Amino acid sequence: MKPTLQGGELGREGMNGEVVWTEAAGYIGTTDRGKRFGIYGSDSPSPMEMVLHGHAACSLIDVIDGLKHRRENVEFIKIEIEADRADQTPKVFTSIRMRYIVKGDVPETLVKRLIESSHDKYCSVGIMITRSGASLEWSLEMES
């Protein structure tokens, strides 16, 4: 069921906000909590870049949250992300590759389990992308 407009607000609980275009400022998004961000400008990401980076951020949040009792042992963690897109419009993501790099004294098996559960259960952005047909590959590099 698609959300419908009722009385100026979306008829479902969830997120809302707006995107406005002006000649001077370009595209500006504003969340319902007042957070503002540029879109598709010379200093701001395109919508697809935002989705891709949102996927990485979503998964990284899951991993960091899962390490909550060992977070003090994490010196550094990042995800490098790459994606391929369809050749024809709509140029949806067709494959995504994520490389997790973790430095610190945390068990590799725990980090792997957290990454797997992020992709299988928790990361809404990533699950949305893979359910649309994109393949996902990930790797983990542990540094001491």
Q: What is the pLDDT of residues 13-63, one digit of tens each?
A: 789 999 999 998 899 999 999 999 999 999 999 999 999 999 999 999 999
- Do 12 and 31 belong to one domain? yes
3 pLDDT band, cuts 50/70/90, is very low
pLDDT of 73 over the 60 cut: yes
- pLDDT over 90 (residue 10): no
Specify whether 29 is located in the same domain as 77: no
pLDDT of residue 12: 59
What does residue 10 show for φ and ψ, rounded to 5 degrees?
-65, 140
Are residues 55 and 129 in contact, defined by beta-carbon separation less than 8 angstroms?
Answer: yes
- Looking only at the bridges linking them, the beta strands covering 26-31 and 17-22 are antiparallel
In degrees and rounded to multiples of 5, residue 100 shows phi and psi of: -90, 130
Residues in the chain: 144
Which CATH number covers residue 69? Answer: 3.30.300.20
Question: What is the predicted pLDDT for the residue at 24?
Answer: 87
34 and 54 part of one domain: no
Same domain, residue pair 54 and 104: yes
Q: In this structure, how many other beta carbons lie within 10 angstroms of the beta carbon of residue 52?
A: 21
| Residue 113 identity | R
Residue 90 belongs to domain spanning: 47-143
At 87-127, the pLDDT tens digits run 999 999 999 999 999 999 999 999 999 999 999 999 999 99
Do 111 and 59 sit in the same domain of this protein?
yes
Contact 84, 95 (CB under 8 A): yes
- Confidence band of 9 (pLDDT split at 50, 70, 90): low
* pTM for this model (two decimals): 0.87
What mean pLDDT is predicted for residues 62-68?
A: 95
Is 37 strand, coil or helix?
Answer: strand
- 124 alpha carbon, distance to own chain's centre: 8
Number of domains in the chain: 2
Rounded Cα distance between 15 and 34, Å, is: 12
**One domain, residues 103 and 138:** yes
Burial of 7 (0-12, 13-18, 19+ CB in 10 A): exposed
Element (H, E) at 114: helix 108-117
